[in-house]
Structure formats: C-alpha cells, structure tokens
A and B are shown apart, each in its own frame.
Chain A
Amino acid sequence: MKPRFFLLLLLLPLHALAGTTPGTAVQATKLTESSPAVPQQAIAALPEPVPEITKNSLLRVNSTNQVYDFFQPWMKKPPFSRRGLGVLLEGGRILVTAELVANSNFIELEKPATAEKSSAVVEHVDYDCNLALLRPNDEGFVKTMPPLALADGLRVSDQANILQLEPNGEIAQTPGRITSISVGSYPLENLGLLFFKLSAPLQQRDGSFTLPAVSDGRLVGMLMRYDARNQTADVIPVPVIRHFLKEPGAPGTRGFPRLGLSFAALRDPQLRHYIGLKEPGGIYITEIAPHGSAEKAGLKKGDTLLAIDGHAIDQDGNYEDDDFGRILFSHLTSTRTYPGEVLKFQILRAGEKLEIPVVLQPPDRSRVVSDTHLSDKPPKYVILGGLVFIELSRPYLQEWGNNWTATAPQRLVYYDAVQNELPADRGKIVILSQVLPSPDALGYEGLQNIVVTKLNGLPVKSLSDLVEAAKKPVNGFQKIEFEEDPKLVFLDAAAIEANRDALIKHYSLPALQRL
C-alpha cells in the first residue's frame, strides 16, 4: 500500500490554510519568574564588592498585577506578582521598567538590607520607552537613601555591572560589557529606540524583572530583556532615561516623537538607477502612517530620504551619530528630539531635491485603529441582549496565544496588520466577540468575531457609536449589520431592555457596558 492513498482517505479540515507568520517582536527571553534559568556554573568570582553608596540607592519592588480577560472584558484574570530592583533617583522617585508595574494593583518597596517595607504608586509611566517612576506613599521612607546619578558617555566595549538581589538581602554584581549600541524594538509598543546590548553571564535569581546596570557608582541603564542562551542583556540606556525623566515636568509634550513612516533600504543598484539617485546613501519611503508627523509635514510614499538636519542617511538608514557612531536615523527623530521640535528633512522627489521641515510629535493615540497595548486601561465593552461587542485591539488578538497571527480570525489579524492602509476615517473596528446565550439572543449562539458595520442604519466606528445608535431602534428592533455572515441580526429592543437585570444577574456581570 502506497502512503499516497493512505493520506487521501483521511478527512482533511475545510480550511487547510495553516500559515505561520513570524511575529514582529524581538525574540528574546524576558527576565520573568518563569524564564529559563541561567546555567548555574556560569559566574566567575565577583571582581569587587558593590559600593555602599550604590547598594543604598536600591529598593526591591514587588508589584502585584492583574490584567483584564479580553475574551470576558468585564473581569480580570488571576493576579500575579513581579519583582525587580528599583533605583532611587534625585527627587525621591524610584525608576523601574514599565513592564514591572503594568496593570499593577499594589506596589511594595522593600529596603534590601533591613527588609523595611512601604507602599508606592506609579507617578509616571511611558510604555513607549518601557519606563516608570514610582512615588513612595511615605516620602520619608527614602529620605535617608542616597540617590543614584546617571552615567553618561558610555560606549561600546565599556564595562557595566548588572545588580541582582540575593535571598539574604545582599546585592550580587555580575560584570558585563557593552557589545553594541543600536536602535531596536522595545516591548509593549514595539517602538524602535536606542538600547545597549550587554554581554553578561547572569544567574537566574528570584525577582529579576527589572534590574539596574551600573558603572562607577552611576546608573548605566535598566535591563528590559535577557537572552539566556546567548547571555546578552538588552538595556534601556541613559539617553532614553533622560528623555523619559523630562516628561513629568512638561505635561503638554510628553512622550517620544514618532515620525510615522516605513522605509526600505536602497541597496539595489537597479532601483537606485531607476529613481535617478546618483549620490550614495538614501532610503526609500514605503509607507506614511495616517495622522503622523511625516504625513502632516507632507512627506510622501516614494520619496527618497537623503539627510536629516545635515546628517546624511546611508542606504541602510543609518547616520553617523556623534556619540554612538553608525546608528539608525530614527534615533535622531525619537530619543534625540522632544515633542514639537522641528527637523529639516532633505529628500529627493521626482528627481528634485527638496528640504521639508517636519514637526515631530508623539502619535495621536485616539486615531489608532487597533491599539498595540492597553495596559492600565480596562477594555471597553457593550452587551446588547447577550451579544458582546468590543473594539479590535492587539491584546484581544493576543488572547489566542503566542501563535496568534496564525490562529486568531484571519480577517481581524489582517485588519490589525494593515491598519495604516485603512481609510483615514475608519475609526475603531467594532466586533461582535461572542454571544452569552439568552432568550433574546436565541439562534445567535454561535456568532463570534464578526465585524459590525451598522446598527439601526447608522455607521458604527466605535463602541460609543454603537451605544448612541442603540437608542434609536427601528420599528422596535435593534437591527445589527455585519461585514460577514450572518450579515443581519435583529433583537427586540423592548425585550432586551426589560431583560437587562436578568442578564446581569444570570451571568454575574458587573455592568452591561464599560466605555
């Protein structure tokens, strides 16, 4: 018997499409409690004890976090805790990574030597650069502690030590060396910012979600990722920290500016020749994000970007930075720039050189179609007669697990992936995510993950639109229209109103909507 026929007799699934799509996030192990331990034999003898001044600037931070269940957005998943080492800075504030305290319910500070405890709150957080500042509820708790200064001017091959807390309260120090300085993707927002790569054989210890790296008693940066196999740590460096620290003082200009464009390298000589590029360098602008800084300045898809503020851009998109050498140009437009600043872009358009001033601003989050993350914010939802409506977001798709790009509904994955190409007035994508079976929703039980277009004839571009339109039933019915099958659903407007309390009680819902 030949295997061919064996296969043909097997029943194949209807949709035999199982594409695997690589994620965009950098694949590296985070320093979580659950990440694989570093080999225990790795460390050589510690070179020198940690200076007292450094030791006394550190606080153990225990954060109890709880995230919402995006499939059942009215409830939270079980709480979990993350631990790390925070650094006391000038002004009595403690610096940690944003991931440590994302969705935190309760934050506890602990002095390593004495195990004295006090609580704290997040004073300022920026998920773009993955940093947060904590304020102790009792400011006196840190009064006697010396703040740590920031170490500027570090370069490739400089040494930096990573600090960890031993179970006995001692600080362990692992020597490392900066192997590269580049622009790379940060967690949470996937924004490309400056980071140091540190080579250091870290041992896995309890509570290592945020760890500081120091040099000569000064802070070099905060660890945000550790790759146990390659023994390299990605560190949020001082230039990014300094940018972040300016934010709380100037509320109108918070955040890292974002240019809002995509580019392709211009290595292909055939393409260079075709667009009439005679000089070396330059990159090809492939996409302009709607409502972004680049779009507002008038940059266009197909432009060749030659220089920014006199810094020539090479064919891979790098420029020569005074501090860090060849590095991606987006360092110029993010970490080196503050919101509202203007940079001069030199471009080539249809064979003509132009200079275009670009006002750099952080992205307008209200315009985002599908949010990348929704930390600290409860997800919105509306329930109409048992039909659960939500707005499409990346965290919702991520509920399908690590392989969500292949396993989540493909239309939703597609909308998330191409959101910059959708019409500028697309608004949010409202989805019927599931149905809580009820007498009003009889016959609609299986409906899930379909995109709503209209309610009672009115276009739905947000959950607020949905709520407004629901106030205007047609002939006593809520008429809901969808992009996909079943295309059309009716609910009895009076009946769902009358059965509100029964539905709430039956499924123990806190409320039928949260906006």
Chain B
Amino acid sequence: MFRILSITASLILAAALNAAPIAESLVRIEATSQEPNYKTPWNPGDVTSGVGAGFVIAGDRIMTNAHVVSNARFLTVSKEGDPKPYPARVLHIAHDCDLALLGVENPEFFNGTTGLEFGGIPPIESVVSVYGYPIGGTRLSVTRGIVSRIDFQTYSHSAMDSHLTIQIDAAINPGNSGGPVMQKGKVVGVAFQGYSGDVAQNVGYMIPTPVALRFLADVEDGTYDRYVDLAFSHRELFNPAARRALGLEDDNTGVLVSSVYGGGSSSGILKPGDVILKIDTLPVSSDGTIPLGSESVPLTEVVERKFKGDTVTLDILRDGKPKHLKVPLNEPWPFTLQSNAYDEKPRFVVFAGLVFQPVDQNFMEAHNPGNQRLNYLFDYFVEDEIHRDRPELVVLGTILPDPVNAYAEEFRFSPVDEINGRRIKRIEDVAQVFAEPADDYVITFAGTGRPLVLERKAVQEAGPRIAERYGVASQENLIK
C-alpha cells in the first residue's frame, strides 16, 4: 500500500514539473461559425460561437479538433497568461479524423511558445493529463486519469469514420476539445469526445498520435487527401464447417470477405467469398486482427497508416487456391453522403417554389423525412449500390407554397426520377433541364405514380413572386 502511494506521489510531482512548458504552448480558441440551414439552403445560416483548446506544434502551427473550427467565419487564439486575442485561420482541416491545423498572421503570438512533441501510444493503465478550458473559463484546467482502453471508435464529428481511439477515465468536458493529452512531457493524444447519458461515467476519448501524425504527414504536400479505404467488409471465421468449406485448416487464421463495395479500391479485385490470410505480409487472425508491434489491432489499421497512391498487398484464398493481390489505394472513399458535412454550402435548385436538393446526412438531419423509400435508398446507398443508378439522390425538399405548386405536397421527399424525359442523376441535371425552354415541365418521382406538371408560363409568373415573399436570395447553388 505504501509503495503504491509513493509511486502516485512521484507521478504528481512529475506532472507538476512538466506543467510550465505545456501551459506556455496551450492555446484557447474562440470560434465564430456559421452553420447553413438545409431547410432554407439559400440563407448563410445562424452565427454561433464557441470555445475550444489547441496546442502549438513544430512550425508555428496550432493543432486542434476539426469540430472546434468547422464552418468558422472568424477565429481568435490566445495563450495562457497573455490575454490578447490574435486572429487565426485554418490551414488544414480533416473532418474524417476530427483534426485541424491553424496558423496565426501575427508571428509575435508564437514568442515564448515551444512546439510540443508527440509521443507514442501510452500503455494501458498509465497516467495521462488532459489540458483545456472545460465549461468555459479563460484559465487553464488540468485533469488526470489513466488509459482505460485502446480500440477503434466512431468519430462523432463525421459520425461515419472510425479510427484508433484511446479511452481514458479523466473527465473530458465541453471546452476540452482540441486540448493536448500529455504523458512524460509529450503529446500522446488530442481530447475530442466524451460519452453522453447515464450509461457510462468517467469515459473520455482522445485521438492517439498515429492518427495525429498521419494527418500531419498527409498535409505535408499542402493538401489534405483524406483517409483511403479498402472498401470491403469482412466476417470472422470461427465456424468449423465454414473453415472446411473454404479449404482452411483449424488454425485460427483468415477472415471472409463478405461485401466488396462498388466504386471502392477493392472493387474488381476482391470478391465476396475470398478469404484474407495476410495483409501486407502480416498474418490475419480469424477474428480479423493482425499483430502490430506488441498490440493486436484490427486489420484495417494497416490501411489507416497509408496514403492516397499507396498499395496494400493481400494474400487470399479464392475457391481454395492461394492468390496474391495488390490493391492500389487510388481514391479516398467516394461515398460521403452518410457523413456529417462541414465547410460546405448546401446545393439546391429552386423552381416554382419547389426546392430540389441532393440528399446527404445534413439534409436528413434537417428534414427528418419519414419517407420509407428515401430512408431505404439513403441507408443502403453503398451496400445495395444505389449509386450506380443515382450518383446523387435528388429529392424535392422544402416546398414554398404558392398557387403554382398547390398540388405538389404529395411529392415531398420523393426521389426525382426524370424531368422532361431526362434521367436525373445529379442536382446539376435538374438545373440544366429547368434552364431549357419547354411548354411544360413534367417531373416523375420514384413511387408516386403520377407526374408533377408545371406550366412554363405559370412558373415564370410565380418565380419572382415566390422569391420575394419567401426571401429566396438565390435560385440555385451547385457548388459545395
């Protein structure tokens, strides 16, 4: 008992000794942002502001969370002990791993700061300290905890991406976002999300250094290319009958390829039913993990550390025969419609008071349409390869009531099939076909049976009237 106490005491001492340089490099970020409203997509959106944390790294840059500076219109940064706010700007932002880099125009800001260095993955049960500005406040706050778990977790900022995440039991609260998590004077993570509700307590999450360092490496060439993905799903291979049927020994190796997503990196290379035995020469266990260093991690971790243009090699078993495959990671994952999107303008076309929009997560969240067909098409967009027919799901969203569209309500949230005989694959098609002169505009929707007919003359008369009455500042926006 006595020994344990003394260890704890020395750790506190170590933390206290290290606190001074860390405090100098800690940054308080005030962000004013403007979030567009997908129900009135022509409006610039409400102005809101918030506070987060960040830290100075090499090259006079500030690292923080993407969600602290998303949709930012104006940013200021300030240091501990220097109340002056300095205007800052976003250099790079990675929404898929919730990280961003900021620059400051005035180089004086960095006087007296030291770029913090990155450490490795802290061992389970080791103590870490979290720095930030939780629950508002202008003074630095430090909390401490231990590393509870190292695992893959969904990053709630995009809500679709999962990366390596470290769970700690230090209190992480609003305002900690973007702050450094330190161990032995080095950054071992970036605090970014917590757990809500009554289910769990003392659960905080940080972005570990492999993710942060990958982000820094990715932007070295001046642009952020996003994560690449093998774009297939796999199943554990525990069942003895399945193992024998696939020609495998009872030796706990290999996973079954279940879906290969069309349009992704593995499309045309891998097939459902293939068994993956090795990835980049690392043996794949039947639960889908690989040995990496001293840890056992999911096989996707190999791809997590790669960049656009890299290659993954796979040793597989197809129809009982071994094969060696190379998968070039050419393009990032192409289907981002199910992710929360930021720093984008909503795209739309207004015609006769009808607002046509491509469906994405932002649209679904704003409108919450109770349309079973649309829900299915959105949920299964990738899995059922809906994108082959419809690269974008264009629907009728908001209706601005006017005599010209008095009978359009039944078409709300229905996917547009055709306008004047032309197949609608993207929102641009809608803009083009409405720009072409015609006596009638005949719009057919999936699942509604009857067409919606709009007479040109009536539309032309209604256009200015609707725009004025509803304050529609622009009739279309096709650029993100």
Q: Which residues of A contact B (CB under 8 A)?
A: 1-2, 4-6, 8-12, 14-22, 262-264, 267-268, 270-271, 273-274, 284-287, 301, 405-406, 410-411, 413-414, 417-418, 421, 440-444, 475, 477, 479, 484-492, 495
Contacts and interface: CB of A to CB of B under 8 A. Distances in A.
A284 B449 contact: yes
Given A18-B368, A485-B259, A11 B242 contact: no
Contact of B241 (A10, A287, A405, A477): A477
A418 B259 contact: no
B21 interface: no
| Most-contacted residue by chain B among A4, A263, A442 (CB, 10 A) | A4
B371 interface: yes
Nearest to A2: B50
Contacts of B157: 8
A515 B205 CA distance: 51
A9 B51 contact: no
A417 B372 contact: yes
B375 A442 contact: no
A482 to B, nearest CB: 9
Given A271-B450, A271-B453, A490-B246, 13 more contacts: A1-B51, A9-B172, A10-B196, A16-B361, A264-B450, A268-B406, A270-B453, A417-B372, A484-B259, A485-B235, A485-B258, A490-B242, A492-B241
A223 to B, nearest CB: 31
13 contacts: A1-B135, A1-B136, A5-B174, A5-B177, A11-B194, A11-B196, A19-B369, A268-B407, A270-B407, A274-B440, A410-B375, A443-B239, A492-B241
B402 to A, nearest CB: 13
Q: In this complex, which of B194, B372, B454 has the most chain A Cβ atoms within 10 angstroms of its Cβ?
A: B372
Contacts of B368: 18-20
Interface in B330-376: 361, 364-365, 368-376
B140 to A, nearest CB: 15
B241 A440 contact: yes
B152 to A, nearest CB: 12
A492 B235 CA distance: 18
Contacts of B49: 2
B263 interface: no
Contact of A489 (B172, B173, B242): B242
B110 interface: no
Contacts, number: 185
A262 B410 CA distance: 14
Interface string B138-175: 00000000000000001011011000000000001111
Nearest to B239: A443
B389 interface: no
Contact of B258 (A15, A16, A268, A487): A487
Contact of A271 (B136, B364, B451): B451
A264 B411 CA distance: 12
A488 B376 contact: no
Nearest to B154: A14
Given A2-B51, A16-B361, A22-B370, A273 B455 contact: yes
A475 to B, nearest CB: 7
A442 B193 contact: no
B50 A4 contact: yes
Contacts of B449: 262-264, 284-287, 301
Contacts of B440: 270, 274
B453 A268 contact: yes
B202 to A, nearest CB: 14
Contacts of B373: 414, 417-418
Contact of B447 (A405, A421, A485): A421
B7 to A, nearest CB: 32
Contacts of A267: 407
A440 to B, nearest CB: 7
Residue among A10, A22, A405 with max Cβ neighbours from chain B (10 Å): A10
Interface stretch (B75-83, B378-386, B463-471): B378-386
B453 A8 contact: no
B224 interface: no
B382 to A, nearest CB: 12
B236 interface: yes
B272 A488 contact: yes
A11 B156 contact: yes
B175 A286 contact: no
Contact of B239 (A421, A441, A487): A441
B238 A442 contact: yes
A489 B450 CA distance: 43
